Amino acid sequence: MAVKEEFRQFEMEVGEIVEEMRSFTHEGSVATYIPELRHADPGTLGCALYTKNGTCVSFGDGEETFTLQSVSKVVALALAVMDSGEDQVFDKVGMEPTGGPFYSIARLALMNSSKPLNPMINAGALTVTSMIGGRTEAEKVERLLRFIRELTGNDALTYDSAVAASEFRTADYNRALAYLLKGEGVIDSDIGIEPLLDVYTKQCALSMSCCDLARIVFIFGHEGRSPETGEQIVPAPVARMVKTFMVTCGMYNESGELAIRAGIPAKSGVSGAILGSVPDGMGIGIYSPALNEKGNSRAGVELLKRLSRHFQLSIF
């Protein structure tokens, strides 16, 4: 009885914090460079927590669905390492943070090496996606869907075709990056750029709820194991590696600040999605589409900071 009462108190406190943070949604703007994303309601703030007992609790607008965008880079990285091996992936992509924009072409072109600095910027993510198993784009998309469904436990999960088509039509920066990477031999010569972009935009358009998001990151936080069966879905070293990237470059040019202010490994996307991992603890899924000047969810970042302070969640 005491445990149930404690959990109810926990739920009440989280719910109050989520509603307090909603005021920050007025300080951001939704992404418009992907036309379909401009339709999002900037006042939305949803959160879900996946707990050790296998329960997911939603708060605010936590039942809303949204696309992953760059949050998908975490999933694709794990899958590419599982399919192609760590040595092959990091022969093509580096492990260092970058101070430049996530879509930058200039930084890539001006470096002595054309190797992207890390898998969380677009150049690195395109390279990583090219190494997901499958002979055709259809096989790669199916491989990705099988993996994401296993991570979420949601067999109906798929991508938003309208968002994927919108991204594909407006992917000029990513096309330029991909052709540059192919020209430099980073992306293999036998890989077609248009098929690669088809896979990448569908990857970014994977659609889910905050509970789906929270379950994914719960698994990464628990050494890659299923919360129900204990099955090893992601090898433990891969899960640890992904969490490390989330700390060092998961929030772009806000990664260092969030590491200090919240201490929660996290990854963001321009849809307003954020996942946060509390190792051996909760999985946190957040959605709030109003973005700050760094391209991260304005209210989502503040919510992570506040949850960390209130419940002492920092890993440091």
- Catalytic residue, from 14, 50, 70, 305: name it: 70
From the candidates 14, 72, 186, 252, which is the catalytic residue?
252
Give me the residue label for tokens 């999960």. Answer: 157
Please tell me which residue in 200, 226, 268, 308 is annotated as part of the active site: 200
What are the tokens at 120? Answer: 């969380």
Euclidean distance between CA atoms 172 and 170, whole angstroms: 6
Annotated catalytic residue 270: yes
Q: Which of 71, 72, 73, 115 is catalytic?
A: 73
**Alpha carbons 259 and 249: distance in angstroms, whole number:** 10
Q: Is 70 a catalytic residue?
A: yes
Of 270, 287, 294, 301, the catalytic one is: 270
3 known member of a binding site: no
The C-alpha angle 80, 218, 274, rounded to 5 degrees, equals 80
DSSP β-ladder status, 266-268 and 273-277 = antiparallel
DSSP string, 281-293: S-EEEEE---B-T
User: Is the Cβ–Cβ distance between 254 and 301 less than 8 Å?
Assistant: yes
Length of the chain counted residue by residue: 316
Strands 46-50 and 283-287: antiparallel
Which one, of 238, 249, 261, 275, lies nearest residue 316 by Cα? Answer: 261
Consult the annotation and say whether 252 binds a ligand: yes
- Facing residues of 85 across strands? none
Sequence-separated (6 or more) residues with CB below 8 Å from residue 162: 36
Cβ neighbours of 216 (radius 10 Å): 28
159 catalytic residue (yes or no): no
**Is residue 70 within 8 Å of 269, Cβ to Cβ?**
yes
Q: Is 200 annotated as a binding residue?
A: yes
Annotated binding site for substrate: 70, 122, 167, 174, 200, 252, 270
Active-site residue set: 70, 73, 200, 252, 270
Annotated binding site: 70, 122, 167, 174, 200, 252, 270
